[in-house]
A and B are shown apart, each in its own frame.
Chain A
Amino acid sequence: MSIVFSKPLSLTDNVLTYCPGCTHGIIHRLVAEAIDDLGVQSQTIGVAPVGCAVFAYNFFAVDMLQAAHGRAPAVATGVKRVHPDKIVFTYQGDGDLASIGMAEIMHAAARGEKITTIFVNNAIYGMTGGQMAPTTLVGQVTTTSPYGRSEELTGKPIRVSEIISQLDGTAYAARVSAHDPKHVMEAKKAIRKAFETQRGGAGFSMVEVLSTCPTNWGMTPIEALKWVATDMVPYYPLGVYKDLSKGAA
């Protein structure tokens, strides 16, 4: 018997604290698989955000820090500058990265910090109870937009990958999704590519992963995956937005 699929070494045996069906678990696994594939488990330092993934330091079997809300890229900047030979990544949600942490992520990318950001976009604030995030879709019902997000009142959602890809310091920016096995495999490739880009020293790299929040969306886990495909992907187009790594066109 040979093993076709098992838990990656870079994940601990701790039970994930996420709700049933939350794709955070899938994305954690993809990051851990990328670390395993590159053989850099002992050289990787992660920075956890504030949000549902705040306990990420319990789940990744690598050195981890936990930063103040939104400040993970600033903390990762310091870590990388002190340890330029290490692989440094931040793992941030959309409330953390696209709202309170917008300044930090923009300037980290603009400076071309050689770190990787895994940006988990589920269009809502999960941990605090389902409030409207900057990435909430127009018309989406949340606890702070009970009649659906109003474009007139709050504008349209921010497409972070498109903005980040415009900055000169960014070497790799891609948007992927975790809503079916095909897209999970593509997400894995993109995350691995982002780590390789960092290792090659080309600049800042970010992978935005479209994720679910069945609890706060008020859906079953299966309905939530379908909603990503039918509602989120049309507004947040998938693809590689920038790739300046060696060998890329």
Chain B
Amino acid sequence: MPTLTIQSDLCKGCGLCVDVCPKKVLGFDPSSLNAKGYRPASVLAPDACVACAFCARMCPDCCITVER
């Protein structure tokens, strides 16, 4: 099963990964904030991931690792 790992401390919450995900796997968890005060992207629907890696390719901060 595909696994997405987000390094939340590097994420700046720009949302490019959330916007580009064709399967709506990623989103923002209103209760989460990182050390820099950004709201990091979270994996909200891990079962829907197809490991296309669009999120990782669009992530400007290189904080997503995709495994399958």
Known: A20-B13, A20-B38. A1 touches B68 (CB 8 A): yes
Determine which residue in B38, B57, B60, B61 has the highest number of CB atoms from chain A within 10 A of its CB, and name it: B60
Chain B, residues 41-64, CB within 8 Å of chain A (1/0): the string is 000000000010110111111101
Contacts of A7 in B (CB 8 A): 62, 65
CB closest chain-B residue, reference A15:
B10
Number of interface residues of B (CB under 8 A): 26
Taken together as a complex, chains A and B put the C-alpha atoms of A21 and B15 apart, in Å, by 8
Let me know if B12 is at the binding interface, CB within 8 A: yes
A-binding residues in B (CB < 8 A):
2-3, 10, 12-16, 19-20, 38, 51, 53-54, 56-62, 64-68
Contacts of B14 in A (CB 8 A): 20-21, 214, 221
- Considering only residues 1-28 of chain A, those with a C-beta below 8 Å from chain B are 1-7, 11, 15-16, 18-26, 28
CB closest chain-B residue, reference A3:
B67
> Please, could you name 24 A-B residue pairs with CB atoms under 8 Å apart, sorted by A?
A1-B68, A3-B66, A4-B56, A5-B53, A5-B57, A5-B64, A6-B65, A16-B60, A16-B61, A18-B60, A19-B12, A20-B12, A20-B13, A20-B38, A21-B12, A21-B15, A22-B60, A23-B60, A25-B59, A26-B58, A26-B60, A180-B58, A222-B16, A225-B19
The 7 closest A-B pairs by CB, nearest first: A25-B60, A21-B14, A20-B12, A20-B14, A5-B53, A4-B66, A5-B56
CB–CB A25/B61 < 8 A: yes
Contacts of A185 in B (CB 8 A): 57
CB closest chain-A residue, reference B7:
A7
Contacts of B58 in A (CB 8 A): 26, 180-181, 184
Contacts of B2 in A (CB 8 A): 4
CB closest chain-B residue, reference A26:
B60
Let me know if A71 is at the binding interface, CB within 8 A: no
**Chain A interface size range:** 20 to 34
CB closest chain-A residue, reference B14:
A21
Contacts of B65 in A (CB 8 A): 3, 5-7
CB closest chain-A residue, reference B3:
A1
CB–CB B19/A24 < 8 A: no
CB–CB A29/B16 < 8 A: no
Known: A4-B51, A181-B20, A184-B57. A29 touches B62 (CB 8 A): yes
Cross-interface CB contact of B62 among A19, A25, A220, cutoff 8 Å = A25
